[in-house]
Amino acid sequence: MSTILVTGGAGYIGSHTVVELLNAGYQVISIDDYSNSTPAVYDGIEKICQKKPLIKEIDCTDKLLMSKCFQSNGKIDAVIHFAASKFVGESVEQPLRYYRNNIDSLLTVLELMEEFGVGKLVFSSSCTVYGQAKSLPVTEESPIVPATSPYGNTKQICEEMIRDAIAVTPLNAISLRYFNPIGAHPSALIGELPQGVPQNILPFITQTAIGKRKQLQVFGNDYNTPDGSCIRDYIYVVDLAKAHVAALSRMMANEQKRGYEVFNLGTGRGLSVLELVRAFGEATGVPIPFEIIGRRAGDIEQIWADPSKANRELGWCADTPIHKVLQSAWSWEQRLNERCG
């Protein structure tokens, strides 16, 4: 029974991945500082899986507490590192907090993995490393251009740190470049838990649908896209979580073709903001009022993935239809509303 240390395990993607890891039979140690999550997430995980991970409240930049975690929980076979700040717009306003949290947390994890002889890492990277790609869809060989946000830059720097560490240590790693994760577990027992005003579009849409927000503000319709709004590759968070189990299995079975591999995790389809808004109304029967305002700093115009390498090498595909994904987000928002009253 392999033991996986998951940092950020109470977070949006982390919690959905913990569910898939537990269901796949792994022992899981989940670390989170609850800066963008809450311990109640683990109750949802337990209801889904009939078991919980070993839970630790730790800030990943706290090397002393992290060292104790590596020391006192038996052999750790691999690490999945999610813990990071993740909002593009927020990172433009608070760059130093993003550099401190995202770089420092990975540095701590890499140093302790070397110290304790843990040789397998799955890293939560991002399509933002591509910046505004000149040709689409982006493949893993698409050029890494200067990021348009501090968030994207932290992910570029983290990937370089991993690459350099692998060159001189027995570390093996897989970086998973996520496109835009959306939706919630079909049980509606876990999902996205934005703190305050949602930064990402889908929780803002669902909060508008439930009446918590008056209307959606669309950040610009003067982009060089068919309807003028930005295009993204929206991927179901459960499909994304399953990709982490596939990547881990690849490492545990020593099937990696090289010590460091990178995979795009997207659907391969781009959707504009206005198309997403329309699709939500069609999928749920709840139309979303919106107004067009100015562009958001840090946003790129359009990006979507060529996921064929992950499809081929990981035997994985993001195949959940968008209307089911949007319905899952809406069910989660309704469940949240019932609970919070």
Window of 197-205, 247-255, 257-265, 330-338 that interacts with ligand WQD by CB under 6 A: 197-205
**Among 7, 19, 52, which residue's Cα sits nearest to residue 237?**
19
35 phi/psi in degrees, rounded to 5:
-70, -25
Binding of ligand WQD by 199 (CB under 6 A): yes
Pick between residue 81 and residue 86 the one whose CB is nearest to ligand WQD.
Answer: 86
Token pair in block for residue 89: 């717009």
Q: Between the CA atoms of 289, 292, 298 and 299, what dihedral angle is there, to the nearest 10 degrees? A: 70
> What whole-number distance in Å separates Cα of residue 177 and Cα of residue 38?
25
Q: Is residue 12 flagged as an active site residue?
A: no
**Among 53, 68, 75, 51, which residue's Cα sits nearest to residue 9?**
53
Across the strands, what pairs with 176?
124, 263
- Pair 158, 103: CB distance under 8 Å: yes
Token pair in block for residue 32: 């989170």
**Among 309, 324, 31, 35, which residue's Cα sits nearest to residue 174?**
309
Window of 46-54, 65-73, 83-91, 256-264 that interacts with ligand WQD by CB under 6 A: 83-91
Burial of 199 (0-12, 13-18, 19+ CB in 10 A): middle
Binding of ligand WQD by 299 (CB under 6 A): yes
Across the strands, what pairs with 52?
none
Window of 114-122, 163-171, 193-201, 254-262 that interacts with ligand WQD by CB under 6 A: 193-201
Binding of ligand WQD by 180 (CB under 6 A): yes
Q: CA 161 → CA 4, 109, 171, 173, 301, distances in Å?
A: 21, 11, 12, 11, 28
CB of 220 to ligand WQD, least distance (A): 7
Number of residues in contact with ligand WQD under rule CB under 6 A:
21
Q: E strands within 67-136?
A: 78-81, 120-126
Binding of ligand WQD by 219 (CB under 6 A): yes
CA geometry: angle 287, 291, 297, nearest 5 deg:
120
Question: Which of 118, 201, 310, 318 lies at the binding interface for ligand WQD (CB under 6 A)?
Answer: 201
Question: Which of 30, 101, 108, 128 lies at the binding interface for ligand WQD (CB under 6 A)?
Answer: 128
Residue in this structure with the two tokens 């595909």, named with its chain if needed: 317
Binding of ligand WQD by 296 (CB under 6 A): yes
Pick between residue 70 and residue 330 the one whose CB is nearest to ligand WQD.
Answer: 330
Binding of ligand WQD by 230 (CB under 6 A): yes
Pick between residue 62 and residue 275 the one whose CB is nearest to ligand WQD.
Answer: 275
Pick between residue 261 and residue 299 the one whose CB is nearest to ligand WQD.
Answer: 299
Give the active site residue among 12, 26, 42, 151. Answer: 151
Across the strands, what pairs with 308?
none
Binding of ligand WQD by 126 (CB under 6 A): yes
Window of 17-25, 72-80, 108-116, 200-208 that interacts with ligand WQD by CB under 6 A: 200-208
Binding of ligand WQD by 86 (CB under 6 A): yes
CB of 299 to ligand WQD, least distance (A): 4
Pick between residue 10 and residue 218 the one whose CB is nearest to ligand WQD.
Answer: 218
Pick between residue 29 and residue 88 the one whose CB is nearest to ligand WQD.
Answer: 88
Binding of ligand WQD by 239 (CB under 6 A): no
Question: Which of 70, 82, 123, 178 lies at the binding interface for ligand WQD (CB under 6 A)?
Answer: 178
**Among 160, 139, 157, which residue's Cα sits nearest to residue 147?**
157
CA atoms within 13 A on the CB side of 239: 27
Pick between residue 87 and residue 330 the one whose CB is nearest to ligand WQD.
Answer: 87
Site residues for ligand WQD per CB under 6 A: 86-88, 126-128, 178, 180, 199-201, 204, 216-219, 230, 232, 273, 296, 299
Residues tagged active-site: 151
